[in-house]
Structure 1
Amino acid sequence: MTARTPSAPRAAALVGPFASGKTTLLEALLFACGAIPRKGRVRDGATVGDAGPEARARQISVEPNFATASYLGESWCFIDCPGSVEFQQEAINILGVVDAAVVVCEPDPARAVMVGPMLRQLQERGIPHLLFINKVDGPGPRLAETLEALQAVSERPLLLREVPIREGETVTGYVDLVSERAYRYRPGQASDLIRVPDAIGGEKGVARQDLLEHLADFDDELMEALLEDVQPPPADIYQDLARDLADNLIVPVFFGSAEADGGIRRLLKALRHDVPGPEATARRLGIAAEGPALAQICKTVHAPHTGKLSYARVWRGSFADNQSLGGGRLSGLYLPAPTGPAKTARVGLGELAAFGRLETLATGGLIAPEPVPPLPWPAPLGPLFALALAAEKKGDDVKLAGALTKLCEEDPSLVLEHSDFGELVLRGQGEIHLMVAIERLKSRFNLGVTARKPTVPYRETIRKATTIHGRHKKQSGGHGQFGDVTLDIAPRPRGAGFEFRETVVGGVVPRHYIPAVEQGVTDYLVRGPLGFPVVDLSVTLTQGSYHAVDSSDMAFKTAARIAMTEGMPQCEPVLLEPVLLVEIAVPNDCTAKAQRIVTGRRGQLLGYDAKADWRGWDQVNAYLPQAEMDDLIVELRSLTMGVGTFAWKFDHLQEVNGRVAEKVIEARREALAED
């Protein structure tokens, strides 16, 4: 067999559901590569990944963990991505620059549904991926049951690359289905080559034939060989596996135990032989091989000591520290290492490095010495949960807004808004997502904040019309103030908005004062008699009078406000609540649960149907009052093993009466009294 040409540095993402063991797998991979002298444990807070205080406090990954290592003379960057659905934006961004993903899952068939959304994303984006079934060293379901459940959520065929050797209920090794060699695990060391156990011979033969038949679906020569009962040489099978993986046609499946070092080196060898290099990945992404040096940012971090760091994958050429880049200058280059970012003078093709102080570039952006056209990048996830934040210390409001802007730059699934009610609203993927952001405000920026539910953007309107007279007259020596108006106030159809008109004749209100009347009306509409902005009405200026000396813009503006203040309560004001169009996506065995959630929140079901191009999933469409949305994602995830989600948009305003309206109005009056 000819010697293998070493690949340029490659990158692999570790993805999968929460608690599947990705951080432990990263630790095991680094240990097997010799990058760390011993393995740390998550429960001890001693792992390379999850080094931040927020991650260690919760024992979950809340940001990607980068680490470089070398295996058999080839360089790798492994990125442990958060498994919690609340931090999935991090995984989405990282997947944009890796050569392959290792999907880590547990051997429990009941949890297979949790892997489905990630498998689907990888399939849609054409990213080569392998499956690693972790934690097989304990008693539990047979691998065949787990594989069957996983195949139900994968559009690509899952091809078992090995079969387990068991002693009782414990997996102690494996038989490779291509080389047909058997190995026994040795914790912390390479596995021992052993004779294939007699008891496993039949299982091995069936599994190997299944592997070959699936590969033959994409290889006519292999199909002919199998039909003629000719066994192909291992080299041809390995070649088919690597090609089909790169083409996103198959998903090779491995198993082991990251905690006990079982199957780790087998996984490393598969990555080394089968995963395409950065040149092939660049072609997949539509990046030309020729051109100026090019790197793409996959993660932005505002670090306390180094400032802004942009983690980026190099697709072409090389970059040197202090290099000029499109009008700016690169200030610092770092390679991610187990002990933290390590300064380096130059990075080249395939390397994933941190670029210092690229202030104008965001995640997904391109680093180049000259302007280049942008490359496609996935849109941020839509927000699902919100909190209104306020600085604990008076005078920290500007500092708070600046810190939140930096956190939103780090994580594009965080969205910062200024509400109609003067609130600073942070939206994200869930309660934990936002609580981690709040903790970072304290740990990084020394900003304490208070958090509460945002004010629902209720509106009010009127049911009947009235005519009202408003006069402002004040004499205090010298020029006085005089403005006099008569207004017709009338309701308009829902959604028609506000309209101001004037029908004055004979100059009873001079033309140059009419804009001030309109301004007085619109100023009032910010807060109507129920305490909320007023919509869907018309106001017509019909009559008035003025004084040649004492009239002014301010006087007419005040007169208009007086008229509105006195007239609006006569118009039968009514509360309007915002209603959203919500599209809930769930596995189809959870559809009835999703419908009950809607009806239990004063929602109106519009129907449901199979989710387009998503096997085994339904989409439930409904109208839901915005007031009922604050913890919808929490309940939905709890009923769907964390995989249910939704999209929403404002649809219409709807009149609300009775006890619900009374409670809202009373709460608003109390809030205004406190202000």
Structure 2
Amino acid sequence: MTQDNANGRRYGGPRCIAIVGPFQSGKTTLLEAILARMGALQRQGTVAAGTTIGDASAEARSHAMSVEANVAAVDFMGDTYTFVDCPGSIEFLAEMQPVLPAIDAAVVVCEADEKKIPALQLILRELEDRKIPRFLFLNKIDSSSQSVREALPLLQPASRLPLLLRQIPIWRNGVAVGYIDLALERAFIYQEHAASQVVDIPPDELPRGREARYSMLERLSDHDDALMEQLLDEVEPPRDRVFDDLAHELRDGLAVPVLMGSALNGNGMLRLMKALRHEAPGVTETVARLGLTAEPGAPALGHVMKTFHTAHAGKLSLTRVLRGTFQEGMTVTASSGESSRVAGCARLLGQTTQKVAQAQAGDTVALGKVDAAHTGDALSGAGAVGRLAAVAIAEPVMAIALRARDRKDDVKLSAAIQRLLDEDLSLSVEQNAELGDTVLRGQGEMHLRVAVEKLASKFGVAVNSYPPQIGYRETIRKSATGIRGRHKKQSGGHGQFGDVVIDVGPLPRGTGFVFTDRITGGVVPRNYIPSVEEGVRHYLRRGPLGFPVVDVGVALTDGSYHTVDSSDMAFQMAARLGMGEAMPQCSPVLLEPVLGVEITVPSDATARANAIVSSRRGQILGFDARPGWDGWDIVRALIPEAEITDLIIELRSATAGVGTFRARFDHLAEISGRHADAVVASRQAAQ
């Protein structure tokens, strides 16, 4: 049960905590260390050995990185804490988006690495915009070569809120062997994979500890007049007041507390858990943050954080219960208005499920076979409720075309892709009828690679992938007039006869196709003229260069017919023959789609981004500071679609993994020379 102490500090109750941070900062290791310290695991596994509770999927272990959100619940001092470990790579950052709305707080795992500051800023901005309380856990302190005095100024630009140092390391021979807790005024000496030894602050560390504690209290006094007076009067404030102010600063979004430790060695876990217990808000505050009420008797309400498709349990919907009770057999309604019956409730420990009778407000559980639910939905025990918070997913930046290796798996592939999209909101698919491609779009090379691997390992459909075809077009530069197309065939009985004369000419870019009827005197009967247009349109699907033809005008000027042998089909054939004769005379030219691109990068990488654009036949239009983002720029450019295919790979390489872009079709542009010859030769070979 949640209780308040005499000073109003809240203790206990089920919590849901997100573990977030830049790629390779140690999030999965932190979760493993917490589980081991809390007794949920007999032994702490490692990412390198592939023995962690999180990252248990074949794809995660194959690539030694988180590729989806991992969930584990653990009991601590009589309460349940559900941790959701979110991937740190920007390619899988969309896994974090639907998790954030319903969490109580976040632990942001980071290290004092200048290269990772932009990635840290991306993550902190998400938390800031959603007003989510957050701790910063400075990881790998045992191997850090920087002092905290150097680390904090390095990290501060990533956060809009001031970073509030709660602990300082104790150094021996250049190695952090423990820390001083500035609120408790005690020292903790690290013990590998065991609770730290609590000791008095070493005499040689007292001056540094007092100075750091006074800085912390000064920061707290900015929002506590009584504490300010005590500091001015040199009166030592009561410890309870200090802890109350720390909780207040966290919950009201006034500061970001900074804790430290070594996840790999299991150091600092207990202090982190106690900080979460005593200072992090609970579900009541989370409900209020979402603008909801938690009135007694109100219908059950939950938020779907993640969707899993499992081999044995079917579809599971990871749900944070915000209000009321969910239990097996109850009917719930998703945001779409569709209803489903809950097949069961379970706590998760990685890929292991533990069935529970029911889930109450604050619990985070997997609900079985709620087919109507989708990630980001609100689930209600009454009528439909709209989504509780927007889930903004970044636009795709890379695409691959897919084809089932075995043709008999074509139908199975379609169903597998839909389940894949149900699990991962940042994937999208389109069927390109013109080119015959099934195109899967995602957040980068690794994201799409993992998607292909999941199709095989999880959904049993092996596929071949290849770059999507580019939507090239062709047009003409010159006109051809008086071109005759005649189709005449006699094969016994009724023959076939159609005769047309056409003029063909170029039109302004973007006009498309225009057909004009200039027939006089009925030389071509009115009922056959639509057939002539249809024949022309059929030819334009594939011009002399092998691509659809655009921006062409065709005028029917003359012709003849036979009262018995003429037919719709004959005039269609005559028109196609006429076009086949005319088009090579009109100087056909290849057109390629050019996209308007907005590239978002840290300012120190803007010059590199400009160079990348230029190397890809791009035209730089200019760049500006990214609104509301200190230290970031937006580069605007025009780039041919053919050069966009793997742009994100080079862009991420030049920006420590954080660069991205948005692209929109802008116009078609002529291309000639070797590049055009190569495109035409490739299409002819394919056909």
Q: By the TM > 0.5 criterion, same fold?
A: yes
Distance 1:491 1:338, change over 3 A: closer
* Kept after mapping to 2: 8 A contact 1:36/1:338: no
**Deviation for aligned residue 1:109:** 4.0
Aligned residues of 1:31 and 1:37 also touching (Cα < 8 A): yes
Among residues 335, 346, 369, which one is paired with 2:347 in the alignment?
Answer: 335
Secondary structure of the equivalent of 1:301? strand
1:302 aligns with 2:317: no
Choose the corresponding residue for 2:387, options 374, 379, 384. Answer: 374
The structural deviation recorded for 1:648 is 1.4
| Residues 56, 351 of structure 2: 8 Å contact kept | no
Q: How is 1:442-481 mapped onto 2 (pairs within 5 angstroms)?
A: 442-467=456-481, 468-481=483-496
- Deviation of 1:343 after TM superposition, in Å, equals 2.3
SS of structure 2 residue aligned to 1:558:
helix
In structure 2, relative to structure 1, the CA distance for the partners of 1:651 and 1:217 (3 Å cut) is: farther
The letter of the residue matching 1:240 is: D
CA pair 276-423 structure 1, distance change in 2 beyond 3 A = same
Deviation at 1:205, TM superposition (A): 2.2
Partner of 1:105: 110
Q: Which one-letter code corresponds to 1:393 in the other structure?
A: D
Q: In structure 2, what is the equivalent of residue 313 of structure 1? A: 320
Say if 1:82 and 1:88, in contact at 8 Å, map to a contact too.
Answer: yes
Following the alignment from structure 2 to structure 1, what is the Cα–Cα distance between the partners of residues 606 and 125?
19
> Deviation of residue 294 (structure 1)?
1.2
Partner of 1:418: 431
Bigger shift: 183-192 or 13-22? 183-192
**Structure 2 gaps, min length 5:** 334-338
Question: 5 Å matches for 1:197-596?
Answer: 197-290=202-295, 291-326=298-333, 327-338=339-350, 340-369=352-381, 370-419=383-432, 420-467=434-481, 468-596=483-611
- Aligned-partner Cα distance in 2 for 1:228–1:195: 26
In structure 2, what is the equivalent of residue 660 of structure 1?
675
* Equivalent position of 1:49 in the other structure: 54
Check if 1:39 corresponds to 2:44: yes
**TM, length-normalised to structure 1:** 0.96
SS in 1 for 2:304: strand
Partner of 2:200: 195
Residues 254, 267 of structure 1: 8 Å contact kept: yes
Alpha-carbon spacing, 1:331–1:512, altered in 2? closer, same or farther (3 Å)? farther
Cα distance, 1:139 vs structure 2: 5.0
Q: Counterparts of 1:256 and 1:452 in 2: how far apart (Å)? A: 45
Give the CA deviation at 1:213: 2.5
Measured in 2, the distance between the counterparts of 1:343 and 1:508 equals 82
| Structure 1: distance between partners of 2:71 and 2:208 | 39
**1:464 is aligned with what amino acid?**
K
Secondary structure (helix, strand or coil) at the match of 2:101 reads: coil
What is the RMSD of the two structures over their aligned residues, measured on CA atoms?
1.9
1:282 Cα offset (Å): 1.7
Q: Which amino acid aligns with 1:362?
A: H
Cα–Cα, structure 1 residues 282 and 553, in superposed 2: closer, same or farther, change >3 Å? farther
The 10-residue stretch of structure 1 (48-57 or 226-235) with the greater mean CA deviation from structure 2: 226-235
CA drift of 1:338 comes to 4.6
Distance in 1 (CA, whole Å) between partners of 2:88 and 2:615 is 30
Deviation of 1:599 after TM superposition, in Å, equals 0.9
Distance 2:312 2:351 in 1: 16
Pair 1:5–1:629, CA change in 2 (3 A):
closer
Give the partner amino acid of 1:305.
H
Secondary structure class of the residue paired with 1:396 = helix
Answer whether contact 2:19 2:84 (CA < 8 A) is retained.
yes
- Compute the TM-score of the two structures, normalised by the length of structure 2: 0.94
The answer as to whether partners of 2:340 and 2:371 remain within 8 angstroms in 1 is no
Give % identity: 50
Change (3 A) 1:185 1:504: same
SS in 2 for 1:450: strand
Q: State how far apart, in whole Å, the 2-side matches of 1:461 and 1:478 are.
A: 41
State the 1:605 CA deviation: 0.8
State the Cα distance separating 1:265 from its structure 2 match.
Answer: 0.6
Correspondence for 2:336: none
Distance between the aligned counterparts of 1:2 and 1:153, measured in 2? 36
Deviation at 1:6, TM superposition (A): 4.5
**1:526/1:247 Cα in 2 relative to 1: closer, same or farther (>3 Å)?**
farther
The alignment partner of 1:403 has SS state of helix
SS of residue paired to 2:622: strand
CA deviation vs aligned residue, 1:31-79 (integer Å, no higher than 9, x gap) = 1222122211222211101111111111111111100011111111001
Name the CA distance, whole Å, in 2 between partners of 1:93 and 1:248.
21
Q: Supply the distance in 1 between the matched residues of 2:612 and 2:94 (Cα, whole angstroms).
A: 26
| Maintained 8 Å contact 2:305/2:320 | yes
Counterpart-to-counterpart distance in 2, 1:337 and 1:652: 51
- Name whichever of 423-432 and 282-291 sits farther off: 282-291
Q: Quote the offset at 1:377 in angstroms.
A: 1.9
Q: Which moved more, 1:335-344 or 1:99-108?
A: 335-344
Write the mapping of 1:107-146 to structure 2, written as runs, cut at 5 A: 107-138=112-143, 140-146=145-151
Deviations 1:330-385 (A, max 9, x none): 22322212561222231121212112222233211121232223333223211111
**Could you give the per-residue CA deviations for residues 164-190 of structure 1, whole angstroms, max 9, x where no partner exists?**
112222222211112212222233333
CA deviations on 1:363-411 (whole Å, 9 max, x unpaired) are 1112123222333322321111111111111232222222112212211
Distance in 2 between residues matched to 1:33 and 1:481, nearest whole Å? 87
3-state SS in 2 of match to 1:42: coil
8 A contact 2:97–2:392 mirrored in 1: no
The code of the aligned residue for 2:520 comes to V
Q: Distance in 2 between matches of 1:506 and 1:286?
A: 75
Contact 2:112–2:155, Cα closer than 8 Å, also in 1: no
**CA positional deviation for 1:591:** 1.1
What secondary structure, in the 3-state scheme, does the structure 2 residue paired with 1:557 have? helix
1:500 to 1:177, Cα distance in 2 relative to 1, 3 A: same
Higher mean C-alpha deviation, range 368-377 or range 40-49? 368-377
Query: Structure 1 residue 227: deviation in Å?
Result: 4.0
Q: Does 1:604 align with 2:634?
A: no
Q: CA distance change for structure 1 residues 483 and 268 in 2, over 3 Å: closer, same or farther?
A: same
Mapped to 2, the partners of 1:121 and 1:417 lie a distance apart of 29
Quote the Cα distance in structure 2 between the aligned partners of 1:321 and 1:500.
64
Residue 166 (1) aligns with residue 171 (2): yes
Amino acid corresponding to residue 345 of structure 1 in structure 2: A
Looking at structure 2, the residues matched to 248 and 518 of structure 1 have their Cα atoms a distance apart, in angstroms, of 67
* Preserved CA contact (<8 Å) 1:415 1:427: yes
Contact 2:399 2:645 in 1 (8 A): yes
